[in-house]
Amino acid sequence: MSNKLNPRLPILLVDDETDILEGYELMLNKRGFNNLESCSDSREVKSLVTNNDYSLLLVDLSMPYLSGQELIDQIREDDPDLPIIVATGNKDLESAISCMQKRIFDYMIKPVEINRLVSNIQRVLQIQGLEAEIKTLEKHLISSDLAFPEAFSSIITSSSGMKSIFRYIEAVAPSPKPLIITGESGVGKELLAKATHLASGLKGEFVAVNIAGLDDTMFTDTLFGHKKGAFTGADKDRDGLIKRAEGGTLFLDEIGDLELKSQVKLLRLLQENQYYPLGADVPMQAKVRVIVATNADLKIKQEYGDFRKDLYYRLMTHYVSVPPLKSRKEDLPLLVGHFVKQACHSLKKDMIDVPPELLLLLARYNFPGNIRELEAIIYNAVSLSASGTFDLISVENYIRKQVDSSETLANEITPCREILEIITNTGELPTFDEVEEYLLKKALERARGNQSIAAPLLNLTASTLSRKLKKYGLRDE
């Protein structure tokens, strides 16, 4: 049995009739509310509210010594925002209007309808939860420091944009609501999901599953498990990944590929914290935080009827969009250094120095495969390196193959713009040879004299570049 208090701050029940207080406690306990305090003397309430924090007050109006109206006036002097629900046998309209003018949450006539009371309490707690979440989020976004930097230690970055994402994640990490992480393939969405789990303080496991390619039966069995006899070969009960992640985080990657039947089941899980194992008639209770990720545009999938709108808005409670590597090139030095060190350790090689030409070359590439692609490039180059010298040629060859002949490399500063400015300012047209020589000089300048780097900047082969340099006397014979 759980010892967790619900709600976190107690509900104060105020009525001069002790049997009514006992009835409230009994009814609310049955509905899962176990953090309750009772007071039968209205004169004591002001002191209790002053010295303690409460989620809300349930107050009777007709009480000796101090009426409910007078009590509300006293409380409002010091705490205008404390939620108060009035429960009274008084059906007088003027009394109800007077109470509502004092900003009470609801005015209920005895005998109190338990469903309405529970609904009111849940609404109050939901509003308070959202307000607390907003305050926490504002605090983290304003602050430049992280409370739990160790949660993000596996993510190599110096990008201010990524640091803002860290602060947002730290703010929403304790929330039980789902988080969706979007971004291109290879940007590190699972690393951010793990960081969210670590920052949340949840004691259970982080369980990740890629749901791409799972049909509805496989999805249900993988996540929810099955009962004995549910299908041929099911000779015993089997728990799903939700059970394994109990008290922790369930990470669902490639959520955009989820079948519509499975989307209905995921929606039930998120809305009601319930799921049905295959072959089960009785729902199981889920105690797990759900994080999902996708590189797909879910809005477009909605338009084509491939993704449910209700599920989309349920998932969008908390949202993170991870920028691609091409938008945070300032991370390249850190990432390259990290991957070189990692590759040398994995391949049992002595540490290799990173030549400055490597960063210059990588900075002009768009990285469609993002960080995952960069890691593969570096690992391959380190594996081919000999005598402690980084194999730059393998990187050059790889990038040259990836870049289409009709495209320029990312972030390339085209000397053509400078030539156009000269023409515009002087009104004179340079000769073809003058333009060609100018381009060759600029390319060599940007490549720091390295012809292997300069060649792809001009979309030339190494041999063609060498021949042209010789033509203009730009290289030694």
Q: Which pLDDT value is given to residue 231?
A: 84
Question: Is residue 136's pLDDT more than 80?
Answer: no
Q: Kindly report which listed range (222-236, 244-258, 296-310) carries the lowest average pLDDT score.
A: 222-236
The proportion of the chain whose per-residue pLDDT surpasses 70, expressed as a percent, equals: 90
Please name which of 241, 227, 233 lies closest in space to residue 280, comparing C-alpha atoms. 227
Q: Which pLDDT value is given to residue 419?
A: 57
Q: Residues 11-133: name the CATH superfamily.
A: Response regulator (3.40.50.2300)
Please name which of 260, 241, 238, 243 lies closest in space to residue 251, comparing C-alpha atoms. 241
CATH number, domain 143-323, options 3.40.50.1100, 2.40.110.20, 3.40.640.10, 3.40.50.300: 3.40.50.300
Give pTM, 2 decimals: 0.62
11-133 and 143-323: identical CATH topology: yes
Report DSSP letters for 310-375, one per residue. HHHHHHTTEEEEPPPGGG-GGGHHHHHHHHHHHHHHHTT----PPPHHHHHHHTT---TTHHHHHH
Q: What is the pLDDT of residues 247-264, one digit of tens each?
A: 999 999 999 999 999 999
Q: What is the CA radius of gyration of the chain?
A: 32
Please give the Cα distance from 370 to 290 (Å, whole number): 25
Q: Kindly report which listed range (48-62, 127-141, 220-234) carries the lowest average pLDDT score.
A: 127-141
CA dihedral 260, 266, 268, 269 (to 10 degrees): 170
Question: Is residue 245's pLDDT more than 70?
Answer: yes
Map out the domains of the chain as residue ranges: 11-133, 143-323, 327-402, 415-471
Read off the tokens for 224: 């929810």
Q: Which pLDDT value is given to residue 412?
A: 43
82-88 average pLDDT score: 91
Please give the Cα distance from 277 to 239 (Å, whole number): 8
Q: Which pLDDT value is given to residue 257?
A: 94
Contact 475, 466 (CB under 8 A): yes
Question: Is residue 28's pLDDT more than 80?
Answer: yes
Cis peptide before 415 (omega within 30 of 0): no
Question: Is residue 288's pLDDT more than 90?
Answer: yes
Please give the Cα distance from 177 to 77 (Å, whole number): 35
Question: Is residue 70's pLDDT more than 80?
Answer: yes
Please give the Cα distance from 309 to 472 (Å, whole number): 64
Q: Which long-range contacts (CB under 8 A, 24 or more apart) does 107-115 make?
A: 110/20, 112/24, 112/87, 114/27, 114/31
Read off the tokens for 331: 């991370």
> Which residues have a Cβ under 8 Å from the Cβ of 319 and sit 6 or more positions away?
179, 180, 182
CATH class for the region spanning 415-471: mainly alpha
CATH number attached to the domain at 327-402: 1.10.8.60
Please give the Cα distance from 221 to 277 (Å, whole number): 7
205-225 average pLDDT score: 93
Q: Which pLDDT value is given to residue 418?
A: 56
Q: Kindly report which listed range (105-119, 156-170, 377-391, 441-455) carries the lowest average pLDDT score.
A: 441-455
What is the enclosing helix (H) or strand (E) of 86? strand 84-88
The β-bridge relationship of strands 289-294 and 179-182 is parallel
